[in-house]
Structure 1
Amino acid sequence: MAPAPPGSQTQPLPSDLPFRLISKTIGTGAYAFIRKACPKVAPKPVIAVKFINKEHAFQQGRLTAKQLSMEITLHTYLGKHQNIIQCLGSGEDVYWTWIAMELAEGGDLFDKIEADEGVGEDIAHFYFTQLVNAVSFMHSKGVAHRDIKPENVLLSGEGDLKLADFGLAAMFKREGKIRLCNTVCGSPPYIAPEIVSGRRSRRTDLLDEGYAANVADIWSCGVVLFVLLVGNTPWDEPTMRSEEFKEYVETNGRTTDELWQKIPIEIVSLIRGMLKVDPKARFTLDEIRTHPWFTRSNPYLTASGTIANPIGLATHMLSSLRIDFTSDPMSSQSQRSKTPQADAMDLDSDNSMSNVRANLTFLSSTQPETPVSETPFDWERPPRLGMYDGLSASQPAISHNRPQPQPLTQIPFLSSMPHPTQDLLSQDPTLAQFTTNPSVPLTLTQAARQFRDILPNYSLARFLSPLSPTLLIPLLVEALHRLGVPVPPSCTDWERSGEAWIRVKMVDGRRQGLNGHMVVGEISVNGESLSEVRFVKASGDPVEWRRFFKGVVVGVGDVVLRPG
């Protein structure tokens, strides 16, 4: 059983579950973790089950029983849509509430998008179209999402978009009557300005005057489209404290910010319409759907709104991922913001509401970051690694008597390894991002039959090295120090199943919480011993996590195994 969130390690999972758990942890939330399950007497269908620890959520966090009940009610009410994760059922016992959901077999969309680069126009248009389809369906049923951001945009096994996480969803229309929402919620880079700037005289998390939640969703969709195109958000928060946002407002959207210069002019008009500061002037869904860029033809899009060429799209996306080993790991565009660090949008490491009020700190979400990543969850290993000789998908092959090699004197290239090892590793999609001219190996595309054969559901934030963990871990810690990421003194003291875990708890370039672990272990590939470093995100923006991963890889670049 996967370890439970802090404060709940002694609480067993419900014993009367109507399904069989078949995986370790595949994801975490503020108060929850997710595992795979299937029927008790059959191997399929495979679903995802979210376990929420009620004591931790209600007593130590800021979630209420009413909010949890509303999440289940609204998610169930939405029913089935091809671009929305479907709720399949729920239940509870004394300690846990569980929600059974459709499994997003393709993993995170934005884990597969290059930070500071984005994707091509066709792919951006494809996924934006599917996002609008999902939001349109929700709004037609009177439900607003209120937390549209990359963390909540997943993929099916075929590569289609799936909108997830309805913990902040709200009913804005019922029986034809519109109601305004007052709860302050969302992530600052994606939240609408009317929510941030609203007057809060009674409570820091409630506005005196309500906002139209469906119109706020439009703003968030506009920011997501921006990120798809350039791999970064236009600002860290929509307030005049942000220099980027301030210039955007003062120039009526004609900003000189370099990120905007990367966007084709025909798309800029759409984004400006969605990012109108005045909610009443903001584009409606009908105006978005009739915009010339939205109605353009797309080779990846079928008439029914599903993916037309999954292999081609996945190949294009994988070949767009590239890590430049000659770059400065500190030169990321995420560092461009000059917004003062000590202000009302800063991350508070203590998430109790009493501290929020005492420090006049505004937490951006009713499901804030929690110490969940303090616990090393028993994460499911990437299944593709099971093809390597001597490696189990659940238990790494550790050679404790392995002779310690000397530090490398030259960059380790795949071509220096025995041909059988080269043949196995050439089928690993994660290696493609380390090539000088990114391309997808023919051995991978020729055998591919579906989207996930090219772009797997597990994170591509991973690298291999011929160095042993003993020599590699100090280099990783040094790279973290150069990036300004705090490393706990005892971070590498504990091992589980031959793996060392380095906890990462930081504030990203947009001053949002970014938490997870770097997992260092040994694998055997056709008899060759290699170290594997996995970057396991527990919470935070997947684009920022990818940016962090790139910074560490460049920092230890000379020891990373590369094709060539």
Structure 2
Amino acid sequence: MGAPPPGSQAAPLPSNLPFRLVSKTIGQGAYASIRKAAPLTSPKPVIAIKFINKDHAFRQGRLTRKQLQMEITLHQYMGKHTNIIQCLGSGEDKIWMWIAMELADGGDLFDKIEADEGVGEDIAHFYFTQLINAVSFMHSKGVAHRDIKPENVLLGDEGDLKLADFGLAALFKKDGNLRLCNTVCGSPPYIAPEIVSGRRSKRADLLDVGYAANICDIWSCGVVLFVLLVGNTPWDEPTERSEEFKEYVDTDGRTTDELWQKLPPEIISLLRGMLKLDPSTRFTLDEIRTHPWFTRKSQFLSPSGRNANPIGLATQMLSQLRIDFSQDPAPPRRGYSQDVDAMDIDSEPRRSSASAHHPGNINMLSSTQPETPVADTPFDWERPPRLGDYDGISASQPAGNNERQAYQIQAPRPTPNFSQLPTSTQDILSQDPSLTQFSQSHEVPLTLTQAARNFKDVLPSYSLARFLSPLPLSLLIPLISESLHRLGVPVPSIGDEQMQQWEQTGEASVRVKMADGRRQGLNGHVVVERITCSGDKISEVRFVKASGDPLEWRRFFKRVVVLMGEAVLRPDR
């Protein structure tokens, strides 16, 4: 793909760091990347380091040194809270600024929630309670987050919520005095309407009349609760360009939208209070905490506010991840697009949906952060500690002579059922949590839960947007490319030389860069590795998200999987 341009994330990282880097990239933003680190002379504790390329952030990210410093200052100022990622320190050299943080080693919460389905009331209540606890602590310090959305909600090792990313945080109260904010920021589906509708006579990113940032956080928390419950946002943006939002306003919150119809009355009561258009009448944190649904008993919430049943919670969440191969895999009506500049698109926005009958949203608002072309960032993602760590499995093996001969086959060969694999291979693969989503029963194997000691043993930190296939790379890559084309996803052309290189290394990576159904940037890689399991060769296909909404990425993954059909190895067939 060529060498990355100057100023990108490819610049050498600092060499005099007070810690050891112990991983490749585990997360990425528009101008930053995250890696794991450990003390220089000890294997623990493992922490996360956010590296920000200053020139890249200043030039392409349109950030200032003051803004970057404010993120660090406010993050450190907040101190320690169970449900907030803790800031441990920071530093910089000529090229980089780095922030050391607590590692959220449970992964992303919304990677583990089924798109268009959501989770049950008990799980939604548990995570919503922890989110409100985090926001309450922030607000008690006079700090508003201003970017509460799924991408910024992570998990600890026992499944407890961890609020992250304070790049847009603002001080709304100092020395007891309240102050308003004027900067237009946030993600369209989660942003409060007073920010969107405010007059901007001087600059497009500044409001003439400020808004109360803490009250805007309440709105965003309400949208997150809605997404937890139904797996989709109530609207794409809080403007009249969204039919769903317009009806919500016209009916005073008594919308006939089908997603709202799925919710019990007591939850709708809470949501209406948090999603009041007038900020002065919107629920306060005290009103949320005293609402009957919020005060309901929880099987997962301990008296201290932590996860009381990590294994039970993980098991229930894993069983709710499911892929229906009979589902219509059609993309949003307008399809995916390579153009991620929302300001250049002039169409009516709609909510995203897995159904072809609900067109994807086309938003007219700025995203939280400007997108960085994925081509500018070399693929250097950490490989998740899953199949390759089981006995009897090796990954990324060069192809042997017999394997190379298989690459010459032009038509897909029959895919064996899971039950047709050798017993030894089945035993090893049955320990892979991701296979549960392909099972017709969707039951979590007892062998997985009985041996589990913590949340991560059942529901791993890495994304379950992955599948296994018995097909070799030469057959699998064309099928993946064809599926992406059918969905309207732009795919780079793959030449013979590139395919030969992949054949020899046993690993391939296809970059995808698009706008999702809401016309927000959705970028990442489809990575294919050839794995030897108990003597059998299997291909593992991972969908690695670099940036974008996790539920949209999940929808994208499910559509590709359904199109791949018989190429996907699945149990219970």
Q: TM-score of the superposition, structure 1-length normalised?
A: 0.92
Partners in 1 of 2:344 and 2:118 — Cα distance?
Answer: 27
Residue 367 of structure 2 corresponds to 364
1:387 shift after superposition: 2.7
Which residues of 2 match residues 472-491 of structure 1 at below 5 A?
Answer: 472-490=476-494
String of CA shifts for 1:305-324, please: whole Å, max 9, x gaps. 10011100000000000000
Give 1:380's aligned residue. 382
> Deviation per CA, 1:247-294, whole angstroms, max 9, x where unpaired?
110011111111111111110110111111111111110010000000
Deviations 1:315-358 (A, max 9, x none): 000000000000001267998xxx99934999xxxxxxxxxxxx
* CA deviation string 1:442-473 (max 9, x = no partner): 11011101000000011100001000111011
For the 8 Å contact 1:104–1:154, the answer to whether it is kept is yes
Note if contact 1:247-1:255 (Cα within 8 Å) is conserved in structure 2. yes
Read off the aligned partner of 1:46 and give its amino acid letter: V
Once the 2 structures are TM-superposed, how far is the Cα of residue 8 of structure 1 from its aligned partner?
3.4
Q: How does 1:16-27 map to 2 (within 5 A)?
A: 16-27=16-27
Aligned equivalent of 1:90 = 90
Q: Counterpart of 1:455 in structure 2: which amino acid?
A: L
Structure 1 counterpart of 2:75, one-letter code: H
Give runs of aligned pairs for residues 111-126 of structure 1, distance below 5 A. Answer: 111-126=111-126
C-alpha distance in structure 2 between counterparts of 1:345 and 1:42, whole Å:
55
Is it true that 1:459 corresponds to 2:463 in the alignment? yes
- 1:270 touches 1:291 (CA, 8 Å); kept in 2? yes
Is the 1:5–1:53 Cα contact (8 Å) retained in structure 2?
A: no
SS in 2 for 1:383: coil
Deviation string 1:62-117 (CA, Å, 9 cap, x unpaired) is: 11111100000000001100000000000000000000000001000000000000
Give yes or no for contact 1:480–1:486 (8 Å, CA) kept in 2. Answer: yes
Secondary structure, in 3 states, of the residue corresponding to 1:239?
Answer: coil
CA 1:345 to 1:155, structure 2 compared with 1: closer, same or farther past 3 Å? farther
Structure 2 counterpart SS, 1:369: coil
Aligned to 1:531, which of 522, 536, 539? Answer: 539
Distance 1:247 1:556, change over 3 A: same
Partners of 2:219 and 2:455 in 1: CA distance: 30
User: What does residue 404 of structure 1 align with?
Assistant: 406
Q: Is the 8 A contact 1:83 1:163 kept in 2?
A: yes
Q: Is the 8 A contact 1:218 1:283 kept in 2?
A: yes
* Residues 8/342 of structure 1: CA separation in 2 closer, same or farther (3 Å cut): closer
Residue 116 of structure 1 contacts residue 333 of structure 1 at CA under 8 Å; is this kept in 2?
no
Does the 8 A contact of 1:398 with 1:523 survive in 2?
A: no
Mapped to 2, the partners of 1:443 and 1:419 lie a distance apart of: 15
Match of 2:60 in 1: 60
Q: 8 Å contact 2:343–2:365 — kept in the other structure?
A: no
2:553 counterpart SS class: helix
Query: Deviation at 1:436?
Result: 1.2
Alpha carbons of structure 1 residues 442 and 333: separation in structure 2 relative to 1, 3 Å: farther
Equivalent in the alignment of 2:36: 36
Aligned equivalent of 1:168: 168
Conservation of the 8 A alpha-carbon contact between 1:234 and 1:244: yes
Is 1:554 the counterpart of 2:557? The answer is no
Aligned residues: 544
Q: How far apart are 1:488 and its partner, in Å?
A: 2.1
Deviation, structure 1 residue 562: 0.2
**Contact 2:374–2:524 at 8 Å: present in 1 too?**
no
Q: In the aligned structure 2, how far is the partner of 1:501 from the partner of 1:409?
A: 22
1:154 aligns to what?
154
Aligned to 1:357: none
Distance in 2 between residues matched to 1:11 and 1:5, nearest whole Å: 9
**Per the alignment, in what secondary structure is the counterpart of residue 279 of structure 1?**
coil
Q: Is the contact between residue 106 and residue 159 of structure 2 (CA under 8 Å) also seen in structure 1? A: yes
Shift of 1:511: 1.8
Counterpart amino acid of residue 143 in structure 1: V
Give secondary structure in 2 for the equivalent of 1:478.
Answer: helix
Identity of aligned residues (%): 73
Which position in structure 2 is the counterpart of 1:435? Answer: 439
Q: Which amino acid in structure 1 is aligned with residue 537 of structure 2?
A: S
The answer for the alignment partner of 1:446 in structure 2 is 450
Equivalent-residue separation in structure 1 for 2:188 and 2:524 (angstroms): 20
Compute the RMSD of aligned alpha carbons: 2.4
What are the Cα deviations for residues 475-522 of structure 1, in whole angstroms up to 9, with x where unaligned? Answer: 111111111111122499375754221111111122211111101121
Partner SS state of residue 561, structure 2: helix
Answer yes or no: is the 8 Å Cα contact 1:388–1:525 preserved in 2. Answer: no
Corresponding position: 1:514 with 2:518: no
1:538, distance to aligned residue in structure 2 (A): 0.4
**Is 1:342 the equivalent of 2:345?**
yes
The CA distance in 2 between the partners of 1:129 and 1:485, in whole Å, is 38
Residues 491 and 501 in structure 1, CA contact (< 8 A), matched pair in contact too: no
Taking the aligned partners of 1:241 and 1:8, their CA distance within structure 2 comes to 36
Provide the rounded CA distance (Å) in 2 between the counterparts of 1:524 and 1:458. Answer: 21
Q: After the TM superposition, which of the residue ranges 65-74 and 368-377 deviates more from structure 2?
A: 368-377
- Structure 2 counterpart of 1:364, one-letter code: S
Q: Against the structure 1 CA distance between its residues 65 and 286, is the aligned structure 2 distance closer, same or farther, given a 3 Å change threshold?
A: same
Tell me what 2:355 maps to: none
Distance 1:332 1:121 in 2: 28
Residue 352 (structure 1) aligns with? none
